[in-house]
Structure 1
Amino acid sequence: MTAQTLSPARSRLNASYRNLTLWTLQGWIAMFFIAAGYAKVSEPMTNLVELMRWPALVTPNLVRGLGVAEIILAVLVLAPLLSWKHGRPLLVVAAGGLLVLETVMLTVQATGLDISLAVTNLVLIAMTATVLWKRAREVRRG
């Protein structure tokens, strides 16, 4: 098996495709968590308990606080839109925070047998982990 070197033009094209893919994932992540956070902040607790079982097990303030955290982290995922230099580290921190949040919620949903929510969370974990991994490499390279 031989190693193939890419021309500079092909290498730039691949980097452009990778960047477009990451921005698409970041947009989807941000849209999902802004919507989910807004629902947790604005919906009555009875509606949230009907949609998800876990809000019945915690205080309303925890649910509302989680919603605010989701909105803030989702907005920070889009921080590089304002400043590429300063926004990328914020994006990496936000993606890490969302990954921790998603992992905890996956555990809660799996133990509560909310299978559809757990599957959704697995997809979100895959998307967020990809963004975190690729963007963290960019931050380390400078």
Structure 2
Amino acid sequence: MTSRTFSPARSRLNASYRNLTLWTLQGWLAMFFIAAGYAKLSEPMANLIDLMRWPALVSESMVRGLGVAEIVLAVLVLAPLASWKHGRPLLVMAASGLLALEAVMLGLHAFGQDVGPAVTNLVLIAMTAPVLWMRAREVR
């Protein structure tokens, strides 16, 4: 096994690529959850029940509250754009919240045998986990 030491310039380039990748994932997550939260807030319950089965099992206020939570967490994922120093801890907290939400919804969709939403949640988990892991390492 060989270990390589990168030059300072190469290390900065690798860090730039990593940062660009993480910001891209953060942007996609924010867009998805803002759209999903907006739909939960603005669509009639009948439409939501037709699109997803689970809103029929809970109260309307829970669906609307979940929409608000998704929008707030999505905005917090982009908090470092406003202030890197204060936004990074908010980003880590928001990514943790989104990951927990995605895991619960994956279980709910898998239990209800909703294949499409379950796969969507797997993709979202695959996007959120590296953001949380890499950005949490930067906070220390």
Q: Deviations over 1:53-95 (max 9, x none)?
A: 0000000000000000000000000000000000000000000
Shift of 1:111: 0.5
Give 5+ residue unaligned stretches, structure 2: none
Q: TM-score, normalised by structure 1?
A: 0.98
Structure 1 counterpart of 2:47: 47
Aligned partners of 1:56 and 1:77: how far apart in 2? 29
User: 1:117 and 2:117 equivalent?
Assistant: yes
Structure 2 counterpart of 1:71: 71
SS at match of 2:67: helix
SS at match of 1:5: coil
One-letter code aligned to 2:55: P
Q: TM-score, normalised by structure 2?
A: 0.99
One-letter code aligned to 2:106: L
Aligned partners of 1:2 and 1:72: how far apart in 2? 46
Identical residues among aligned pairs (%): 80
Aligned partners of 1:73 and 1:60: how far apart in 2? 20
Aligned partners of 1:73 and 1:79: how far apart in 2? 10
One-letter code aligned to 2:51: L
Structure 1 counterpart of 2:88: 88
Aligned partners of 1:94 and 1:111: how far apart in 2? 26
Structure 2 counterpart of 1:136: 136
Structure 1 counterpart of 2:26: 26
Shift of 1:2: 1.6
Q: How large is the Cα RMSD of the aligned pairs? A: 0.4
Aligned partners of 2:129 and 2:45: how far apart in 1? 30
Tell me which stretches of 4 or more aligned residues in structure 1 moved more than 6 Å: none
Give 5+ residue unaligned stretches, structure 1: none
Aligned partners of 1:108 and 1:120: how far apart in 2? 13
One-letter code aligned to 2:2: T
Aligned partners of 1:32 and 1:24: how far apart in 2? 12
Structure 2 counterpart of 1:10: 10
One-letter code aligned to 2:37: G
